[in-house]
Amino acid sequence: MLSLEPRFVTILHARIGRVHSVEPQCTNWSKTSLAKDHNPMQRTLHRKLIGPKAHRQLLAFLGEHLPHFTPPTSAAAWRKQIPTLRAQVLDLFFRGHPKGLLTEQPQVHWGDRIETGAGYTIRKLRYEGYPSAELRSKPGLWVPALLYEPDQLGAKAPAVLNPNGHHAGGKAMDYKQARCINLAKRGMLALNTEFLGMGELRADMDHNRIAHLDLCGVAGIGVFYLLMKRGLDVLLAHPKADPERIGMTGLSGGGWQTALLSALDERVKVIVPVAGHSAVWQRRGCIEDIGDQEQCPADLCTIADYDTLSALFAPRPTLLMYNRHDDCCFQTRRARKSIYEPIRPVFALLGARDNIALHDNTDPGTHNYERDNRRQLYKFLNQHWGLETPDDDLPYRDELQTEEALAVGLPPDNATLISIAQAALGKIRKRKRKAHPPAAARKALASLLKLPQWKNRSLQKVGTAQKRKDATIQHYLLHLDDTWTLPLTEYTPPRPRGTELLIADAGRSALSAPLATALAQSRRVILDDIFATREYRPD
């Protein structure tokens, strides 16, 4: 089976249009050559041609293309826009996935119970987040979860979905247990779900594996969304869950899940994301807020940025919690400008001015969902659900369970992002394709990639040519309109036979070995740092 994991250096041979994936031994070129700074060829390849200009160009490009939310002029206009926005985003998220995934109900397996003797029971369960029918082998991707259930439940009880973020302990993190215990002691159902890559789902530790699905024509974000959506399905299926009092809250990646699902699924009635999102346009100059790959899904901002998605919370009660000195991401001062302030007018327009609130946490003020933030949650739920529960934590420390005690258990061959991508890849290979003439195929590919057509292209020499016995060396800057500038280095032997274009993840400096091979074959060579490689890696 094809491995989707290995890193490689890419060499594009422009002469015959082939792309070679050179396996890891070729990455030693840079290790070997970097140690030889006295090598004239290596010194030439290390020369910087554009400096900070690459970063400035990227920021300018993003600034021009990332949309800002514009508040609607009327409530009627906004209500008319909402269904289209949601449908477009969901269509994007489920590109390449089988139809019907959003309407199917998940399978649920209930496991052991932990009788705490403290007024609530912890019920272990797992649900099928991504179905096995879409994979070559069973099972699907199952998600472990814990249901905190009050011992005394009325006819209908409030219920809160509690996703978590990027914390290795997953659903067993102390701060998350504390919140779920407190919700249960207040008479609420609390579903504590696991996040991909955390806790018992550590098999998907690297969230960047979402890109493997994207490469196979299946939107990786769809897997993340379906997992959280099916968690909500499980919670609402409880016979005592009150569908009019459903809340969702989480920290970091859990805050992102809260924001995303609540924007697109109105079954969530009270929304409390904590340090989980900001507008992408705000992040362009702030690397701390970039987020993981699932938080910046492909093509999202062609439809809606997170300020627009957050406006979809209205008019439902929403408490945005951020931390003033957050040491991870999304500090209050930045999120206030990119999320809170843009969406307030929408709540006012819909007659729900008092349903939007912002809490700036200063104790401890770092990336947290500790006591102060939990207190804000309890007060907000009391306010909007007509509850009379204490504003502060109820006792919980002696009731915290170990990660081992809270383990649910999963099938030994539980699906992962990689196995889902491999199944998608298998379908691609079996798909019959119509034969197209090369020109038509290139045109179709250019359309698929939305390949830009540059109006003004110019090549600027950098310095004078260096003439050596084996080749003449010339540096260039390739200007593409006023948008991008690419650094090139050209090696031309005395009597060239054909041309090769060499590209590597580590940039021109990693290509001394294939360059030497090409020159030995009397080939003209162009080395290029394309976007995201070495000198054009805008850190």
DSSP for 386-432, written as a single string: T----SSPPS-GGGPPPTTTT-----TT---HHHHHHHHHHHHHH--
Task: Give the pLDDT confidence score for residue 137 in this predicted structure.
Answer: 55
Return the biggest CA–CA distance within the chain.
Answer: 89
Cis before 24? omega within 30: no
Residue 9: predicted pLDDT: 35
3-state secondary structure string across 280-294:
HHHHCCCHHHCCCHH
Let me know: does 72 contact 193? Beta carbons within 8 Å.
Answer: no
348 CB-near residues (< 8 Å, 6+ apart): none
222/297 Cα distance (integer angstroms) = 10
Q: How many helices (H) and strands (E) does the chain have?
A: 16, 16
Write down the residue that tokens 């109105």 correspond to: 266
**CA pair distance 235, 30, nearest whole angstrom:** 53
* Ranges of H-type helices in 431-470: 438-449
What is the pLDDT, as a whole number, of residue 18? Answer: 34
Distance from the Cα of residue 134 to its chain's centroid: 22
In whole angstroms, what is the distance from residue 108 CA to residue 110 CA? Answer: 6
DSSP secondary structure letters along 288-357: GG---GGGS-TTGGGT--HHHHHHTTTTS-EEEEEETT-SSS-BHHHHIIIIIHHHHHHHHHTT-GGGEE
Residue 415 token pair: 């699906």
**Whole-number pLDDT of residue 138:** 67
* Confidence at residue 435, expressed as pLDDT on a 0 to 100 scale: 78
Report the C-alpha gap between 271 and 530 in whole angstroms: 42
Q: What is the CATH number of domain 66-426?
A: 3.40.50.1820
User: What radius of gyration do the chain's Cα atoms show?
Assistant: 27
Give me 145's structure tokens. Answer: 């979860």
Nearest to 176 by CA among 199, 154, 206, 157: 199
For position 172, what pLDDT does the model report?
98
Extract the runs of DSSP E, i.e. beta strands, from 133-259: 141-150, 157-162, 189-193, 241-251
Length of the chain: 539
Single out the residue of 185, 182, 188 nearest to residue 159, CA to CA. 188
Prediction pTM value: 0.88
Q: Which helix (H) or strand (E) holds 476?
A: strand 472-480
Q: Which of 348, 360, 365 is nearest to 321 (CA)?
A: 360
* Cα–Cα distance measured from residue 182 to residue 172, given in angstroms and rounded to the nearest whole number: 15
Contact criterion met (CB below 8 Å) for 373 and 321: yes
Handedness of CA 103, 109, 114, 115 (dihedral sign): positive
Cα–Cα distance between 485 and 54 in angstroms, integer?
Answer: 7
Q: What is the spatial distance between Cα 191 and Cα 147, in angstroms, rounded to a whole number? A: 5
> Where is 137: in which H helix or E strand?
none
Query: Which residue stretches of the chain have pLDDT < 70?
Result: 1-39, 134-138, 431, 538-539
The DSSP string of 80-109 is HHHHHHHHHHHHHHTTTSPTTTTTSPPPEE
**Domain range annotation of the chain:** 9-63+459-536, 66-426
Q: What is the pLDDT of residue 56?
A: 85
